[in-house]
């Protein structure tokens, strides 16, 4: 049996989420079997999987020593300085300028080289996180960016912060995300793209579809910033909703595909940029995050704006196109 006292870092989360972090190598089927068999107790009483933990409560988990050894393995981290640009940091949050080509979270093809792991290494280096001590909470990102989209990612260093940030990014009422994109075509007016989107679970591709067919509402606001000749426009894009590939699918469907977009873009244009500028990636950058009226404990962020500069390659591409 394991006994664990809930600390400030673990309180106010569902107990099943706590167990998934504590028994980080256990399959979900094993975690939920523990609840079915009533092998999880708090202060001596059996609880359901949606029980919300409170500080100083005592969790009892009835597993064998062999199961604990197999399923509870501290994350392998290395104490090292952060190798990417930090835009802002305090005791609660870390705002990072993610380069394109780097995953925020691991997937089937890459699990170790991720932005999340780099952040954990950095916090371990600073003494703000220790996987061998902090069992029930792992600092993490409050939102995601595609691998080949660069720009701002906000991490929560403690559970209350991460929960509040996740709610902010989900609701979007008190937070705004502005992207910078280079698109094909001469866009000369502000527009709002209101087209429902449907994701194919097999291919991962997204398309415009009807709500009755299962599509979800999606709204994107697009403002032209600078015309580059008659063929390209630098635009600001605000996400009102946050669907998968929303910006790229919306811009493509209204005739202004993102330069370098290999899934939804103009393939002839993509070939031109590859051959002439050796530019092979989508020109899409999460440039700005604006906090509005934020609740405690992050109320001090109200009114703040964080901006991530473009990478050197994108800046050089714009200069070359202008010249």
| DSSP assignment of 92-116 | SEEEEEEPTT-BSS--SS-SSSBHH
Closest by Cα among 310, 189, 167, 301 to 242: 167
pLDDT at 109 (0 to 100): 55
Q: Please, which residues have CB within 8 angstroms of residue 25's CB and are 6 or more apart in sequence? A: 70, 71, 72, 73
pLDDT at 110 (0 to 100): 52
Domain ranges of the chain: 2-71, 85-170, 174-291+303-322
Same fold yes or no, 85-170 and 174-291+303-322: yes
pLDDT at 107 (0 to 100): 61
CA 15, CA 32: separation in Å to the nearest integer?
A: 11
Q: Please, which residues have CB within 8 angstroms of residue 77's CB and are 6 or more apart in sequence? A: 117, 120, 121, 124, 131
CA 4, CA 162: separation in Å to the nearest integer?
A: 22
Residues 39, 107, 146, 167: which is the catalytic one? 146
Q: Which CATH superfamily does the domain covering 2-71 fall into?
A: RNA-binding S4 domain (3.10.290.10)
**Torsions phi, psi of 224, nearest 5?**
-70, 135
Architecture (CATH level 2) of domain 85-170: 2-Layer Sandwich (3.30)
Residue 1's CB is within 10 A of a number of other CB atoms, namely 11
Q: Is 16 a catalytic residue?
A: no
Give the residues of the chain that fall short of pLDDT 70: 106-112
Please tell us whether the domain made up of 174-291+303-322 is placed in CATH 3.30.2350.10: yes
Name the 3-class secondary structure at 210: coil
> Quick one: tokens of 299?
């109320």
Look-up: residue for tokens 């523990």?
A: 34
Number of H helices, E strands in the chain: 8, 16
Name the 3-class secondary structure at 78: coil
Beta bridge partners of 206: 199
Which DSSP string do the residues of 108-171 spell out, in sequence order?
SS-SSSBHHHHHHHHHHHHTS--TTT--S---EESS---TT-EEEEEEESSHHHHHHHHHHHHH
Using the Cα atoms of residue 117, residue 123, residue 126 and residue 132 in order, give the sign of their dihedral.
Answer: negative
Give the 3-state secondary structure of 12-66.
Answer: CCEHHHHHHHHCCCCCHHHHHHHHHCCCEEECCEECCCCCECCCCCEEEECCCHH
pLDDT at 69 (0 to 100): 83
Report cis status (omega within 30 of 0) of the bond before 6. Answer: no
């Amino acid at each position: 049996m394991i006994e664990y006292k809930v600390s400030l870092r673990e309180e106010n989360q569902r107990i099943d989420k706590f167990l998934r972090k504590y028994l980080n190598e256990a399959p979900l089927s094993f975690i939920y079997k523990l609840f079915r068999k009533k092998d999880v107790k708090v202060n001596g009483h059996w609880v359901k999987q949606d029980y919300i933990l409170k500080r100083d409560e005592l969790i009892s988990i009835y597993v064998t020593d062999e199961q604990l050894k197999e399923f509870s393995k501290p994350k392998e981290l290395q104490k090292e300085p952060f190798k990417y640009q930090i835009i802002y940091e305090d005791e609660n949050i870390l705002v990072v300028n993610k380069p394109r080509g780097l995953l925020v979270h691991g997937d089937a093809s890459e699990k170790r080289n991720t932005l999340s792991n780099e952040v954990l290494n950095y916090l371990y280096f600073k003494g703000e996180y220790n996987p061998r001590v902090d069992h029930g909470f792992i600092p993490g990102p409050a939102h995601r960016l595609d691998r080949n989209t660069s720009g701002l990612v906000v991490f929560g260093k403690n559970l209350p912060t991460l929960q509040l940030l996740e709610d902010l990014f989900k609701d979007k009422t008190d937070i705004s995300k502005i992207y910078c994109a280079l698109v094909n075509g001469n866009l000369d007016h502000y527009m709002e793209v209101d087209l429902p989107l449907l994701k194919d679970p097999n291919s991962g591709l997204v398309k415009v579809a009807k709500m009755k067919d299962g599509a979800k509402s999606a709204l994107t606001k697009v403002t032209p910033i600078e015309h580059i000749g008659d063929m390209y426009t630098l635009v600001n894009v605000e996400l009102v909703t946050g669907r998968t590939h929303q910006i790229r699918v919306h811009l493509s469907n209204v005739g202004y595909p993102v330069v370098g977009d290999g899934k939804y873009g103009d393939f002839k244009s993509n070939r031109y940029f590859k051959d002439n500028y050796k530019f092979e990636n989508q020109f899409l950058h999460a440039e700005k995050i604006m906090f509005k009226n934020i609740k405690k404990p992050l109320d001090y962020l109200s009114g703040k704006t964080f901006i991530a500069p473009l990478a050197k390659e994108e800046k050089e591409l714009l200069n070359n196109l202008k010249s």
